[in-house]
A and B are shown apart, each in its own frame.
Chain A
Amino acid sequence: MDRRIYGIETEFGLTHSAPQGRALSADDAARRLFAPVLAWGRASNVFLPNGGRLYLDVGSHPEYATAEAATLHDVVAQDAAGERIVDDLRAQLQRTLDEEGVGGTVHLFKNNVDSAGNSFGSHENYMISRRTEFARLVQHLLPFLVTRQILVGAGRVHPTGQPPFGALTPGDGSPSYSFSQRADHIWEGSSSATTRSRPMINTRDEPHADAQHYRRLHVITGDSSMSQTTTALKIGTTDLLLRMIEAGQILPDRTLADPATALRVVSHDLTGTAALELANGERRSALELQHEYLDAVTRFVARHGAHHDRVDRVLDLWERGLRAVAEQDASLVDRELDWAIKKKLLDSYAASHDMDYSHPRMVQLDLAYHDTSATHGLFHMLERRGAVESFVSPEDVSRALVEAPGTRASLRGRFVAAAHDAGVNHTVDWVHLKLNGEHQQRTIMCKDPFATTQQDVEDVIRDITRGDV
């Protein structure tokens, strides 16, 4: 498909640190964080005027789901806006605690692991064609997802080395750095589970659209990205691969013998050269597999043309990202890819303070990289200093805080804004807009995720605005 809906769901980590006092528990912090949301929408699960969804998820994680985006530009802007919205709640809670004299500091992290080895996710959604055989798509996608961490992993410090398979606690080896945060927490290739036995692709089939034509691919193996260019590469490469698979392109079978083990091997091998066993007995490294995908996609784009105006930028960063690993020269991407940006920062800190990755300070820095605060977050510190690249402008992000992308989300966003401003009781999900008015009860279905106008939605918004409900 040349046009596709994308979305990213991000679970945030939250902690209240009070060295001189009594810290709030994670549950209490989350509950208090959502107090303004509750006051705004009478629920801790709300859809916003920008079309996105904000809620408290399993394990007291604040979670933000972007609105449906139809372009790479929009999904990156919506994801960045989501971080700002949740961080604004953090800043409000901080002020409240300061006023109450509770003190301490509230930290919100856009990362994927806490210090006890609990993992929380970043989920990518891609609308795919129902015509494409799902098993074939998964077959080609899995080896790609297993190996793409060498490009779009968020990087992680292991003060005592790689954890043994299945262990949530660190290993007992020498200190190390891995490409991915999430790789050590994924257990299988694809299934319908999300928490007990975490797969890479969740097969739950909830298209949120016309099920005859579309299905939703739910990828849950990725790391959350701080860097906009990393987000763009993560979504952009996966979209290109899907486009090629959907077009029926013949690809060699690179099914991995053991995807979950391969995921860990790739994450902990910074050279990208460790041999992974394929189901057919052959062996390939992460670099070799990624080069195969890049070459196939490049040839596909040459034959069929670019389907959006950022394809060149995606292909360029993809190629450079692989070269950075192959030549062991992270400086090729240390303004664009999270694992390299973070590693550069950690390495210069370690050098100037004469410490290595076994030092607790390194783990703290790793965490602080993902801190969403503009003043305390290390990524945002680099951003402010012009040390990292962006993919969308600050104005685009500011607009995405209040404006939905040009998709069905714009209908939802305008409906939510109108109903909220008029104080009219309403219920919304991804497909339905429901009005629970005094005189009118109406449910409208928005089946086409690309549609930005729909007569019955315009009618109901007009009625709400007139006070006619």
Chain B
Amino acid sequence: MAQERIFGTGSRREEETDAPDPATPPTSGAAQARHDTQGTDDLLAEIDGVLETNAEAFVKGFVQKGGQ
């Protein structure tokens, strides 16, 4: 996911360089079921890895004036 930069002259987004490649599409039947379960577990672990621990404080911190 290279980013064409319009403002500033920095390099591409550092945080993206270690992003894993897209998972290959699952095949079928039992293999798919196993793959899905595995995929879901991976996904949920990845989510837990990036979310801030204090959910309530995080959500409450997001307050803005109304827009249009």
Indicate the member of A37, A60, A374 with the most B CB atoms within 10 Å.
A374
Is B63 engaged at the interface, CB distance under 8 Å to the other chain? yes
Cβ B62 vs Cβ A384 within 8 A: no
- CB contact list, B7-51 vs A, under 8 A: 7-8, 10, 13-16, 19-20, 22-25, 39-41, 43-44, 46-47, 50-51
- For B, the interface residue count at a CB cutoff of 8 angstroms equals 45
Residues of the B chain whose Cβ atoms lie less than 8 Å from the Cβ of A398: 2, 4
B21 nearest CB across to chain A (Å) = 8
Bound Cα distance A353, B40 (Å): 13
Residues of the B chain whose Cβ atoms lie less than 8 Å from the Cβ of A198: 68
Give the residue name and chain of the B residue nearest to A377 (CB).
B50
A329-368 contact mask (Cβ, 8 Å, vs B): 1 or 0:
0000000000000000100110011000001110111011
Which of A57, A89, A95, A107 makes the CB contact (< 8 A) with B67? A57
- For A, the interface residue count at a CB cutoff of 8 angstroms equals 70
Residues of the B chain whose Cβ atoms lie less than 8 Å from the Cβ of A115: 59-63
Give the residue name and chain of the B residue nearest to A36 (CB).
B7
Bound Cα distance A398, B4 (Å): 7
B35 nearest CB across to chain A (Å) = 11
Give the residue name and chain of the B residue nearest to A118 (CB).
B66
The main secondary structure of chain A at its interface with chain B is mixed
Cβ A374 vs Cβ B68 within 8 A: no
Is A153 engaged at the interface, CB distance under 8 Å to the other chain? no
Given contact pairs A14-B64, A120-B64, A364-B59, A349 touches B44 in the complex (Cβ within 8 A): yes
Cβ B6 vs Cβ A401 within 8 A: yes
Is A135 engaged at the interface, CB distance under 8 Å to the other chain? no
Bound Cα distance A92, B5 (Å): 10
Cβ A60 vs Cβ B65 within 8 A: yes
B47 nearest CB across to chain A (Å) = 6
Bound Cα distance A14, B63 (Å): 9
Is A463 engaged at the interface, CB distance under 8 Å to the other chain? no
Q: What 8 pairs across the A-B complex have the smallest Cβ distances?
A: A120-B67, A59-B65, A36-B7, A364-B55, A360-B55, A118-B66, A360-B56, A194-B68
